[in-house]
Amino acid sequence: MPKFIFVTGGVVSSLGKGITAASIGLLLKSRGLRVVNQKFDPYLNVDPGTMNPYQHGEVYVTDDGAETDLDLGHYERFTGSTTNRFCNYTSGRIYDSIIKKERRGDFLGGTVQVVPHVTSEICESIRSVAAPDVDVVISEIGGTVGDIESLPYLEALRQFRIQEGRGNVLFIHVTLIPYLSKAGEVKTKPTQHSVADLREIGIFPDILICRTEKHLESDVRKKLSLFCNVDQEAVIEALDAPHTIYEVPIEFATQDLDTVILDTLGLRAGRRDLKPWRNYIDRVINSDYTVEIGVVGKYSELLDAYKSINEALNHGGAAHAVKVIIRNVSAEDIEKEEPAKILENVNGILVPGGFGSRGLDGKIAAIRYARENRIPFFGICLGMQMAVIEFARNVLKLDGADSTESNPETPYPVIHLMEEQKKVMNMGATMRLGAYPCLLKNDTEARKCYGKESISERHRHRYEFNIDYKEKFESAGMVISGHSPDGILTEIVEISDHPWFIASQFHPEFKSRPVDPHPLFRDFVGACLKYSKRQPQ
Ligand code: GLN
């Protein structure tokens, strides 16, 4: 059986529990252990697929088509592993499963209760990722200790530790050590209270990860150790990473966090090897040349809405040792002002995925600007659909060409609903989701970029390129360079007579890793770099 690590959070939210859990995954993996990361979200939505990006940030899609929390993106990027639908549970999903069992009569007329039914369902969900080939399961509990919503999870973890045996389960509490400038000192009291809350429930943290702005002196560590009942070497300092979040595991390694974990769990593992990881960070830190890329989306002010895209652009930059500056541009602003003004001096333009009609004309204007001025362009999902519409309207002169998503009455439905989507009524988990194979056409930029004919990429959409228009587009220079193996679905389009103009119906950003940048992001940033060198400085 694997060992289990639980990561909880205290004092405030947004402490970076996801990055912490991902970093621990990387450290253990770098010692040769097989690790699975998992996240529990205590809200009642069944999955984040239908949630507003303002509230939830990006929806991360797994190979097996689950719409999940963006922390799974951190897990995959840090550990290089592939997550699946068992790596993310919400309370909604847990309750949904229990209620279905109750309706089926599985409980034989018994009263269905939070303890033991909800807690048992949570324990089963933890075990759902504990395959025989896994050494360590790392489960992150969303929310903050003290929240009403988190209580069933904490109670489940308490029971789980008894079921699995004390030596097989480890608790890590991520907490905040605030600095009071007036007093000139850091304060441990909120952490003491948060640990006291956990102890009241019956959970005794083994390790504290202390988020802090100031270095923790040894007297502070001693105090935390004494009052929170953890060993001194298990008090780990987590300062804000100076350049990139990918430095966090290195900081933990310096404090031997992985050794403390292995010792506490009685696990034997190899020596830590973080060489490729350190190489990546060196490239990020030492890149002094910068390129600026305009990301024209609907949520320009939201840091988390395009999380994986931002990360993938940085990975692509590191591949060329350049720093990528992202200019988040609101598509609606381009509707009010000239693209040339808003996108002045960018070295590349990316239009990400999205839903709904807000800002579509701005996206189309930005794409036209990129196409006509030969600025590198990368379109993703809705970004590809808008590139197709732009080309139809302005090159093929199909006046009023559109997607039936935003204009069902369009005379030229160049983007239309996929056949299997026509009968779908529900919103949740009903799109074309997850990994699908795609074949790349010879002698295209896409084929050159991937360096192979057959690829697999993740999808999340309902609409697609209308294949009836294929000839028209191709004869005018927009080529279908990637398609489903049966040739029916268009997965990539590109403009041959343009320095770099590629748009994909899938989401390549989900598969980019710092140590293994996605080829499309790598080459897009490469094209932006080339473009920037041609511009007067
Ligand atoms: N709204 C579009 C569709 O459903 C694009 C989706 C996306 O960009 N993820 O096809």
Closest CA to 422 of 453, 381, 464: 464
* Cβ partners under 8 Å of residue 386, min gap 6: 351, 360, 363, 364, 367, 379
**Same-domain check for residues 368 and 246:** no
Task: List the single range of 238-252, 287-301, 429-443, 519-533 with lowest mean pLDDT.
Answer: 287-301
The pTM (predicted TM-score) of the whole model is: 0.94
Question: Ligand 1 pocket: which of 351, 461, 489, 509 to mutate (most atoms <8 Å of CB)?
Answer: 461
Identify the band that residue 95 occupies on the pLDDT scale cut at 50, 70 and 90.
very high
Q: Tell me if residue 228 is catalytic.
A: no
Q: Tell whether the model's pLDDT for residue 445 goes beyond 60.
A: yes
Alpha-carbon torsion (136, 137, 142, 143), positive or negative:
negative
**Same-domain check for residues 34 and 179:** yes
Query: Residue 491 Cα, ligand 1 centroid: separation in angstroms?
Result: 13
Give the mean model confidence (pLDDT) for residues 328-354. Answer: 94
The burial of 411, by beta-carbon neighbours within 10 Å (0-12 exposed, 13-18 middle, 19 or more buried), is given as exposed
Q: Does ligand 1 come within 6 angstroms of the Cβ of 371?
A: no
CATH number at residue 292: 3.40.50.880
**Same-domain check for residues 10 and 69:** yes
- Residue-wise pLDDT for 458-496, tens only, equals 999 999 999 999 999 999 999 999 999 999 999 999 999
Active-site pick, 87, 210, 228, 381: 381
For ligand 1, atom 5: residue with the closest CA: 382
Helix%, strand%, coil% for the chain, nearest 5 = 40, 25, 35
Q: In whole angstroms, what is the distance from residue 163 CA to residue 42 CA?
A: 22
Q: Tell me if residue 509 is catalytic.
A: yes
Q: Give the position of tokens 């009968």.
A: 423
Residue 352 CA: which ligand 1 atom is closest? Answer: 8
Instruction: Please say whether the beta carbons of 104 and 96 come within 8 A.
Output: no
For ligand 1, atom 8: residue with the closest CA: 353
Q: Does ligand 1 come within 6 angstroms of the Cβ of 252?
A: no
Residue 460 CA: which ligand 1 atom is closest? Answer: 9
Query: Residue 10 Cα, ligand 1 centroid: separation in angstroms?
Result: 37
Query: Residue 399 Cα, ligand 1 centroid: separation in angstroms?
Result: 22
Closest CA to 504 of 396, 352, 306: 352
pLDDT at 305: 87
Query: Residue 380 Cα, ligand 1 centroid: separation in angstroms?
Result: 9
pLDDT over 70 percentage in the chain: 100
Alpha-carbon torsion (111, 114, 115, 116), positive or negative:
positive
**Same-domain check for residues 325 and 403:** yes
- Residue-wise pLDDT for 167-212, tens only, equals 999 999 999 999 999 988 999 999 999 999 999 999 999 999 999 9
Quote the crossing angle between the two packed helices 218-228 and 189-201, to the nearest 10°.
20
Q: Does ligand 1 come within 6 angstroms of the Cβ of 353?
A: yes
Instruction: At 347, list the tokens.
Output: 């070295």
Query: Residue 356 Cα, ligand 1 centroid: separation in angstroms?
Result: 9
Residue 380 CA: which ligand 1 atom is closest? Answer: 8
Q: Does ligand 1 come within 6 angstroms of the Cβ of 462?
A: yes
**Same-domain check for residues 411 and 510:** yes
Q: Does ligand 1 come within 6 angstroms of the Cβ of 418?
A: no
Active-site pick, 445, 507, 518, 528: 507
Q: In whole angstroms, what is the distance from residue 206 CA to residue 261 CA?
A: 9
Q: In whole angstroms, what is the distance from residue 449 CA to residue 477 CA?
A: 19
**Same-domain check for residues 310 and 263:** no
Identify the band that residue 2 occupies on the pLDDT scale cut at 50, 70 and 90.
very high
Residue 355 CA: which ligand 1 atom is closest? Answer: 1
- Residue-wise pLDDT for 275-300, tens only, equals 999 999 999 998 889 999 999 998 77
Query: Residue 434 Cα, ligand 1 centroid: separation in angstroms?
Result: 13
**Mean per-residue pLDDT over the chain, rounded:** 94
Question: Ligand 1 pocket: which of 357, 382, 388 to mutate (most atoms <8 Å of CB)?
Answer: 382
**Same-domain check for residues 133 and 179:** yes
Quote the crossing angle between the two packed helices 307-319 and 519-534, to the nearest 10°.
70
- Which of 211, 244, 278 terminates a domain? The answer is 278
Q: In whole angstroms, what is the distance from residue 127 CA to residue 230 CA?
A: 27
Q: Does ligand 1 come within 6 angstroms of the Cβ of 154?
A: no
**Same-domain check for residues 244 and 324:** no
CA-derived radius of gyration, the chain: 25
Question: Ligand 1 pocket: which of 381, 402, 466, 507 to mutate (most atoms <8 Å of CB)?
Answer: 381
pLDDT over 90 percentage in the chain: 88
Residue 381 CA: which ligand 1 atom is closest? Answer: 8
Query: Residue 193 Cα, ligand 1 centroid: separation in angstroms?
Result: 45
pLDDT at 537: 57
Give the mean model confidence (pLDDT) for residues 394-404. Answer: 96
Q: Tell whether the model's pLDDT for residue 302 goes beyond 80.
A: no
Q: In whole angstroms, what is the distance from residue 302 CA to residue 57 CA?
A: 8
Split into its structural domains, the chain has a count of 2
For ligand 1, atom 3: residue with the closest CA: 461
Q: Tell whether the model's pLDDT for residue 4 goes beyond 60.
A: yes
Active-site pick, 449, 509, 518, 528: 509
**Same-domain check for residues 121 and 266:** yes
Query: Residue 409 Cα, ligand 1 centroid: separation in angstroms?
Result: 18
Q: Does ligand 1 come within 6 angstroms of the Cβ of 461?
A: yes
Query: Residue 505 Cα, ligand 1 centroid: separation in angstroms?
Result: 8
- Residue-wise pLDDT for 502-529, tens only, equals 999 999 999 999 999 999 999 999 999 9
Residue 463 CA: which ligand 1 atom is closest? Answer: 10
Q: Tell me if residue 457 is catalytic.
A: no
3-class DSSP state of 291: strand
Q: Does ligand 1 come within 6 angstroms of the Cβ of 382?
A: yes
CATH number at residue 12: 3.40.50.300
- Residue-wise pLDDT for 364-396, tens only, equals 999 999 999 999 999 999 999 999 999 999 999
- Which of 278, 296, 317 terminates a domain? The answer is 278
Identify the band that residue 536 occupies on the pLDDT scale cut at 50, 70 and 90.
low
Identify the band that residue 55 occupies on the pLDDT scale cut at 50, 70 and 90.
confident
Q: Does ligand 1 come within 6 angstroms of the Cβ of 121?
A: no
For ligand 1, atom 9: residue with the closest CA: 353
pLDDT at 426: 76
**Same-domain check for residues 139 and 71:** yes
Instruction: Please say whether the beta carbons of 430 and 449 come within 8 A.
Output: no
State which residues form the domain around 133: 3-278
Q: In whole angstroms, what is the distance from residue 5 CA to residue 36 CA?
A: 10
Q: Does ligand 1 come within 6 angstroms of the Cβ of 381?
A: yes
Cis, bond preceding 352 (omega within 30 deg of 0): no
**Same-domain check for residues 272 and 298:** no
**Same-domain check for residues 315 and 440:** yes
3-class DSSP state of 90: strand
Closest CA to 75 of 117, 21, 131: 21
- Which of 226, 255, 278 terminates a domain? The answer is 278
Question: Ligand 1 pocket: which of 59, 309, 355 to mutate (most atoms <8 Å of CB)?
Answer: 355
